[in-house]
Chain A
Amino acid sequence: MSLSFYGREFSSRLLIGSALYPSPSIMQSAIRSSGAEIVTVSLRRESAGGKTGDSFWKLIRELDVTVLPNTAGCRTVREAVTTAKLARELFGTSWIKLEVIADNDTLQPDVVGLVEAATILIKDGFDVFPYCTEDLSVATSLVDAGCKVVMPWAAPIGSAKGIINRDALRLLRDRLPDITLVVDAGLGAPSHAAQALELGYDAVLLNTAIAKAKDPVAMASAFRLGVEAGRTAYEAGLMDARDFASPSTPVVGTPFWHAVS
């Protein structure tokens, strides 16, 4: 089964961020090592005379990847909508990773503002990738607004805690079978990514866990393998868990076996 984002096909189920790496060259190497085809970027104020944006953009262009701009740091619907429009102008893409942040400590999405901003942007022709919580009613509202992709968090951004609310993520997968679901934020280890794919999630979006590893390039490779393992396991069909032991070795013909009298 192929992976599709707004009608475009991809093979890698790992989306990667471009922030927090020890150096620009390590960023490039880690992104290549991850196998990711989609890379998130942001928009920031440029100071007078500065060429910071130019030099960063050159690094991304060299990677030959699809760019997914974000609205990170936006606190209001108005800021997020304007930032999305700036991203469309700057990057020439209708794709936007939509973030409306409610709280500085938890970076919890403002889900009410998120749905409102998504509704405005979709009417304006954007393909919205909303960063949301694992709440089913929020995800359903985003889908009703026209989102074909929904990206619930596993845990707070940068926390590395992995999937906190597995049951809710499973429910989203069951109830939204035709939506491309991405676990975005909070993953810390390749095993966390594997768990998301095992649940049937279409992809994961990672940044801090790779960029802040001792060796980001090796960690990017480990996450690539974790994602592949999880997806392969999902397609292979995991057995159901059960409460009691069940012998794997055949019981019939066990030596020294005596019928209980």
Chain B
Amino acid sequence: MRVIVNGEQREIASDSVAALLRELDYEGTHFAIALNYDVVPKSRWSETPLNAGDEIEIITPRQGG
């Protein structure tokens, strides 16, 4: 199904947030996830389903002022 990951259209096979991170080869440990502007706590990544058209933001710490 097609979803939007970090602003880009992607065709994915995953049906959960945790599966998506594996499918896209995310290897880091410090992420926060927003699904359609709602934060998904790490404890719920495995059980949170994805649907076609979802907007997923995968966010990490970065330099800031």
Contacts and interface: CB of A to CB of B under 8 A. Distances in A.
Given A49-B25, A86-B39, A89-B39, A56 B63 contact: yes
Interface residues of B, number: 26
Main SS of chain A's interface residues?
Answer: mixed
A90 B29 CA distance: 10
A116 to B, nearest CB: 15
Contacts of B29: 54
A85 B37 CA distance: 10
Classify chain A: how many residues form its interface, as a range.
Answer: 35 or more
A195 interface: no
Interface string A51-72: 1111011001000000001101
A44 B65 contact: no
Contacts of A208: 65
24 contacts: A17-B63, A18-B63, A20-B63, A27-B63, A43-B32, A43-B64, A44-B60, A45-B6, A46-B6, A46-B28, A49-B25, A51-B28, A53-B61, A69-B64, A82-B37, A82-B38, A82-B39, A82-B57, A85-B34, A87-B32, A89-B41, A90-B32, A90-B61, A157-B65
